[in-house]
A and B are shown apart, each in its own frame.
Chain A
Amino acid sequence: MTLDALAFGRSARVCAVRGEDEISLRLMEMGLTPGVEVQLVGAAPLGDPLELIVRGYRLSVRRVEAARVEVEPL
């Protein structure tokens, strides 16, 4: 499944980040690399973007960006 489909409050392990463009590169630079654990904290009031906790800090990504991240729920 992809990161945007994860339930709020749940954690997952990243399997892969699809794509080679700027967005995918930025996602990986910010720490979303295969094997890392990520928690989906919640979403902004209008439903987008999402708030994550990864590598001990809070990161905001849009749903379309999170959809590039394949995860395995924990």
Chain B
Amino acid sequence: MDVTTRQLTVALVGNPNTGKSTLFTALAGVRQRVGNYPGVTVEKKLGRMECLGRRFRLVDLPGTYSLAPRSPDEMVAVDVLLGRVPDLSAPDAVLCIVDASNLERNLYLVSQVLELGLPTVVVLNMIDLARQRGLTIDAARLSERLGVPVVEVQANRRIGIERVREALVRVVQGTVEPRGSPFPPAFVREVSWLEQQLASANGASWPRYLVERLLLDTSGYLQRHFRGALPAECEAWLAQARQRLQGEGCGVPAVEAVARYGWVGRVLDGTVTRTAQAGTPLTDRIDHWLTHRVIGTLFLVVVMILVFQAVFTVAEVPMQWVDAGVGWLGGLVEEAMPAGALRSLLVQGVIGGVGAVVVFVPQIMMLFFFLAILEDCGYLARAAYLMDKLMVRVGLSGKSFIPLLSSFACAIPGIMAARVIENRRDRLTTILVAPLMSCSARLPLYVVLIEAFVPKRAWLGNLLQLQVLVFVGLYALGIVVAAGVALVLKRTLLRGPTPPFVMELPSYKWPSAAIVLQRMVERAWAFVRRAGTLILAVSILVWAALYYPRDEAAVQAALEAQRAQVRARLAAVASGSTEAVDLAEQLAELESPEAVEGEFRRQSLLGRAGRWIEPVVRPLGWDWRVGCAVIASFPAREVVVATMGVLYNVGEQLDVEEGSDRLRLQRALRVARWQQDDRPVFTLPMSLGLLVFFALCAQCASTLIIIRRETQSWGWPLFTFGYMTALAYLGAWMTYRVALGFGL
């Protein structure tokens, strides 16, 4: 098809922190398609734009400092640029965005992009910042030296965007003039030689850029990547060529950086003039304090506390709305429909299940709102810098700090925030241990059990309270176990060389409202769309297991038998005694509709499964009802409180935040007895064990599904579920045994 009518593909490349996303949104609008490239965890972002009657498809490539792939994730950018990605045509032009205030390092990437021989437009962003720093850039001269159009823009203010579109239309119509190589002649010669060798070996022609990369890549990644396609002699050719280059004083791989920065120096000479500026730049002054030994650390602590306060408290309000909305909708359906399986499916399975997902959305949006601000203004890199030493001790880097901290609010945004970690092994380790951080969904159970079963003891005049200590202990347990698991993972499954922490500390700038809002909505939507469908399926499954077979006669018979038992005991005790009052209350409860519902649950498939697995959970001191509640809480761990409520006859509507209901469940748990010998089920050792179980278990389908999405495999979520459940069981058993041993 002719160039004038066909939709043209444009690839957008640039260093991180150059305003690339801002430019992408300015060019393509907010209607972006976000997906994943097959087999890697790189986000694929596509947008559309039009200019002078031309239609363009814009591909946003991940921000990178260099087009030298050493991992599958880095390979994606090169594959897209060389047109090697299946459902994406080769780019007709490249848009390369550079930070005008940091031209020298940014031009390194430009020099690689220019070697691809594609029509290119260089976008000079943040010219205002450059001017503030006393830098004057002669764009015309720069364009002349680079041999491509250079457009000055301020992407955050949408200044110069139209000129970028016009420049793109111009370059796709023109022809690309051959550009000289930045490399010394000896190196250019060797690349040509290797190109010929490869062509003569199997006739296939290799893109010159890939041949050059093959010669430069001493890590061996590219050779492994193209294993099947490369002739066997390639290894020897590479060794010969490298040896010859060593002899000529341009040894691989150092030659690349030296040659490219040499080229950058020649391009910039006379293009950029630096005028003396008054005083130290603002960034330097801010940075002096924000990375200060004491003040910087304090500032980080305060920022983090503020963010989490906001995530917990501000998100609390919309979460209650969502919750109330879900309850209202459930009530509406409940009234409008006759009782039966369909109504129960809609109310408990569908509305309840979707509600359990949607309720996370305010927290996700809140956290990403703040993280986007911190990232866009340049502080996130400082937080990683400040915390790196601490994280190195557990085998991770400073970049894992924010994702892990975020997981205390909710593991889902935490896992999504791990995308900033470039190294695959570090990112995976962070994702796999993130669910161990005590998230807010664990709070209801912590509150119920600690209040009911941990004695109110205090030392040092109320300063040290036992209940608070247990609470803090559960949080500490999550952190300590996460550190241990991270260490083990980094030495076994995810072993590899320590990735470099060579990281840019970008200049501070005002965050862009558009980018912050966009990122917030994007993350929330990604969660709802991907997780929502699967969670709905899981909730319906659990609903069905708790609903069927619903045998009315068997339930009434079982209840009647229990009532007869209580009546017999009531007859045996003196009337008016406390025991008689208790028994009378028990009898009344057995006659309530809640008791019928509870008996249905007990006789459901899940109830039977609970009894069937009782031998497995008995070593932990649990009866089958606890086991059953734990299984039913697989979709979301906070469900365990409501399920226990049902199984112990307290009723479905159970809100732990409210005083009276909370006491009802706690009382019900306290009077729960083993059927065989009338011992109480909930003792202090058993409760402590159950708390430890919930601190460590992976009962959250949303988290597992997000892990699947972020790792692009089912193996890692299964692994996470497996190891966390094993640790939770072991931890609960040890806690129970040790507590029993101490005679608690």
A residues lining the B interface (CB < 8 Å) = 17, 20-23, 25-31, 33-34, 36, 42, 44-49, 51, 55-62, 65
Contact = CB atoms under 8 A, between A and B. Distances in A.
B52 interface: no
Given A22-B70, A25-B257, 9 more contacts: A33-B258, A47-B389, A48-B388, A51-B291, A57-B507, A58-B507, A60-B381, A62-B388, A62-B392
B294 to A, nearest CB: 7
B499 A22 contact: yes
Interface stretch (B100-108, B358-366, B649-657, B706-714): B100-108
A46 B292 CA distance: 11
Given A57-B504, A59-B503, A46 B219 contact: no
Given A21-B219, A36-B261, A26 B502 contact: yes
A24 B389 CA distance: 20
B502 A20 contact: no
A48 B385 CA distance: 8
B457 interface: no
Contact of B500 (A20, A23, A31, A33): A23
A23 B502 contact: yes
A44 B287 CA distance: 12
A31 B104 CA distance: 9
Contact of A59 (B108, B291, B505): B505
Shortest 4 CB-CB contacts between residues of A and residues of B: A28-B257, A46-B389, A58-B505, A55-B104
B184 to A, nearest CB: 14
8 contacts: A22-B500, A29-B66, A30-B65, A55-B105, A57-B102, A58-B506, A62-B392, A65-B502
B386 A60 contact: no
A25 B294 CA distance: 33
Interface of B: 65-66, 68, 70, 101-102, 104-105, 108, 218-219, 253-254, 256-258, 261, 287, 291-294, 296-297, 381, 385-386, 388-390, 392, 398, 497, 499-507
A30 to B, nearest CB: 5
A61 B65 contact: no
A44 B291 contact: yes
A30 B261 CA distance: 10
A12 B381 CA distance: 25
B501 A56 contact: no
A62 to B, nearest CB: 5
A44 B293 CA distance: 7
Contacts of B297: 45
Given A22-B70, A29-B68, A33-B258, A60 B505 contact: yes
Given A20-B218, A45-B294, A27 B389 contact: no
B291 A42 contact: yes
B380 to A, nearest CB: 12
Given A28-B257, A33-B258, A44-B386, A65 B65 contact: no
Contacts of A56: 101-102, 104-105
Most A CB atoms within 10 A — which of B257, B287, B292, B381?
B257
Given A21-B219, A29-B68, A51 B505 contact: yes
